[in-house]
Structure 1
């Protein structure tokens, strides 16, 4: 077991040096190390004040990872996550699918991404990838070489988790701030603090401590090998159903709903009041949208708590305890296999 405990360092070099010293206690031989593929998309985890690094440069700055795993890399893109679209999500999933088929020797995967859509990526991959192998998404709040940066620690912890046999079969995970989250549950909550990632209702699955990933619970909702969704017939973002999020607020303008319907939207997720209701002014146009075949789901705009109602005059679906952005992903993938409201309700109850 690796025996190390780091707090916060001013530079990536300091992190690398401190971790490298602890690698002297490693007892595993190089031949026993897991083979991990890093699939990179950019983000703060690859950022410095002087610019964004390639995935290979990120690894070179952290020599300790050589004692944790043998690494291969693939860079899908190199941008901030607020720039990513569904096409980049598809491309990332396809890159992992190709590797699963062509590189069976790979033991696990780390996906690096910007923090803004890290939870979205984790849930998307959780629904579409058919594998029990560990897939760990990670991101960072603070740029490399800046004071109290978390990029180095999060990357190292993600590699540890991806190389841990106990990570097998738990779906896509997100590792940050020494916690292991389910891709279904985790959301980014805070602008810049390193504790931004939270699994609000249910908590993290485990922790990364002392060079080990330790699990204390396991996901029960369907994912990965148990999922009915895939990207077999989806090559581009244009192949995906159009789903949008609409916020409920005081005197919400119904014209927004009418505009979405006119634009050909297939589904609407209403980020509703915490009681599970949309604003009264939104209800008639939502009902009209349903009459035109648009699916409507109610989610909690506070991203916490569970909606269990099965349907109403102005919505078909309840998002359970999914945050609105997670409900959008599930509705989008659900609409790739069915447009039946009863079937979509089943999907929301199982995922």
Structure 2
């Protein structure tokens, strides 16, 4: 029988609803800790609790600590399952996918409803994640997210609803697999992905900014004064910004601060199509780095990692051209 390590980090999946107030709070004892008897027919289970944090409190430094922890444990297990809060689950999954060099399955799951709420998805998602972790077809697929009977890649999955249990979706390409009552069925294979090994710290400051109608240079100037190491902007459409932002962006670039552009649309990629002031072609010619289908939060994660390797613009540009 295969052996799986479950790593708990916190989140709704680790919380309970207060019956009097209705609020959902961390439990004194993890409600899913010690459920290995329910998994005995699937795998031999060990458990570790390394954090008990609501996921808005998870930082890239925590993500790196988690990666290091997994690296020290993975030789003893056939697969790893991580329970995590849903608010930043996709960022942690993508971070691990970029830095973890492993053929063994690494599965992340969570819950939209705490363990004692009516219709809780907590235990069900955990069981589905363990079943995926022991699936032969989950190997060499990178870090996967298993929620609501679906298997998603870390690069493509995103939280789409504030409360619906079917919140995790991959709008661009859909899930790569399904969890049924008697099997884990993969209908796609992931492409080879870039790996950025030997990241031993996350020390840079990168801001994420969303473009809006009427946006001018003031907010970019304010961020520039904070002396960031990098900036990610969710632009409009195919990658366009109001023309009033251009002069401030140029000054950021002149200070050799990389700017990465994604789209605020949840489908499609940015392209240097439009040649007007603030259009994608002008932004690309200025030296703004275009992504390849990442969301803003994931582009920020990738830029944080890239900056630990280099500050050279051309190399950072290559980071974002090299897959997702």
Displacement of 1:314 in angstroms is 4.6
Q: Match of 1:67, SS?
A: coil
Aligned to 1:58: 32
* CA deviation vs aligned residue, 1:135-165 (integer Å, no higher than 9, x gap): 0011111111212111111111001111112
2:287 matches 1:324: no
1:41 to 1, 9, 26: 9
Aligned to 1:156: 127
Aligned to 1:284: 247
In structure 2, C-alpha distance between the alignment counterparts of 1:40 and 1:53, rounded to whole Å: 13
Structure 1 residues 229 and 316: CA distance shift in structure 2, 3 A: farther
Aligned to 1:113: 84
2:164 matches 1:193: yes
Could you tell me the TM-score, scaled by structure 2's length? Answer: 0.89
Number of positions where the alignment pairs a residue of Structure 1 with one of Structure 2: 308
2:144 matches 1:181: no
Aligned to 2:261: 298
Q: Match of 2:9, SS?
A: strand
Gaps of 5+ in 2: 19-24, 273-280
Aligned to 1:142: 113
Aligned to 1:338: 310
Gaps of 5+ in 1: 1-31
2:46 matches 1:75: no
Q: Are 2:209 and 2:232, in contact at CA under 8 Å, matched by a contact in 1?
A: yes
Structure 1 residues 54 and 230: CA distance shift in structure 2, 3 A: farther
Q: Are 1:123 and 1:183, in contact at CA under 8 Å, matched by a contact in 2?
A: yes
Aligned to 2:205: 242
Q: Match of 1:335, SS?
A: helix
Q: Pairwise mapping of residues 205-284 of structure 1 onto structure 2 (< 5 A)?
A: 205-223=176-194, 227-231=195-199, 233-234=200-201, 239-284=202-247
Tell me how large the CA RMSD over aligned residues is. Answer: 1.9
In structure 2, C-alpha distance between the alignment counterparts of 1:277 and 1:135, rounded to whole Å: 36
* CA deviation vs aligned residue, 1:305-328 (integer Å, no higher than 9, x gap): 112438625552111111111111
In structure 2, C-alpha distance between the alignment counterparts of 1:73 and 1:144, rounded to whole Å: 18
In structure 2, C-alpha distance between the alignment counterparts of 1:349 and 1:304, rounded to whole Å: 18
Could you tell me the TM-score, scaled by structure 1's length? Answer: 0.83
Structure 1 residues 266 and 35: CA distance shift in structure 2, 3 A: same
Q: Are 2:216 and 2:242, in contact at CA under 8 Å, matched by a contact in 1?
A: no
